[in-house]
Amino acid sequence: MAQWTGQPAYKQVADDLRAQIRSGKLAVGAQLPSIADLMHTYDVSITVIRMALSELRAEGLIDSHQGKGSFVRAKPSGKKPAPAPSPEFEAIMRSLEQVHDEIRRIDKRLDQLEKGAAGKGTRPTKRARRPSA
């Protein structure tokens, strides 16, 4: 779902969830889909989902409970919305999303190449694990 619109992916996800809450599609007290389900639905990273949920929490639209999930609030809290991220922060997030998209594209291509090599009777080489940051 997140598309290159010039707007960070987490804002696109937050906007969509916000619209679902305001329209009643996600009713008061309703549990939001799990982080894994949201990642799959929007085809984005866990970081994007966490940032989107954080924005909705800061606006008082949802509450999150460790081990239970996130739920639509009955009433917005008296909290003020979090300040808008700086342009530098948004530029960094766009860059990270581009890197994430490129890694995903390379992973898909590598999988295709390995399947092609396996189909030709050659043994695919074992993929090296990426070092974790």
Residue-level pLDDT at 26: 93
Pair of tokens at residue 105: 């594209």
Structural domain contains residue 126? no
Structural domain contains residue 19? yes
Cβ atoms of 17 and 57 within 8 Å: the answer is: no
Pair of tokens at residue 55: 């924005």
Structural domain contains residue 130? no
The amino acid at residue 92 is I
Task: Check residue 29 and report its DSSP letter.
Answer: T
Task: State how many domains the chain has.
Answer: 1
Structural domain contains residue 53? yes
Task: Check residue 31 and report its DSSP letter.
Answer: B
Cite the DSSP H helix spans in 24-86: 35-42, 46-58
- Cβ-Cβ contacts under 8 Å for 27 (sequence gap 6 or more): 72
Q: Mean pLDDT for the chain?
A: 84
Q: Model-level pTM greater than 0.75? A: no
- For residues 21 and 132, the model is more confident at 21
For position 92, which CATH number holds? Answer: 1.10.10.10
Structural domain contains residue 2? no
Host domain of residue 102? 9-119
- Distances from the Cα of 118 to the Cαs of 14, 56, 83, in angstroms? 42, 46, 52
What pLDDT band is residue 42 in, cutting at 50, 70 and 90? Answer: very high
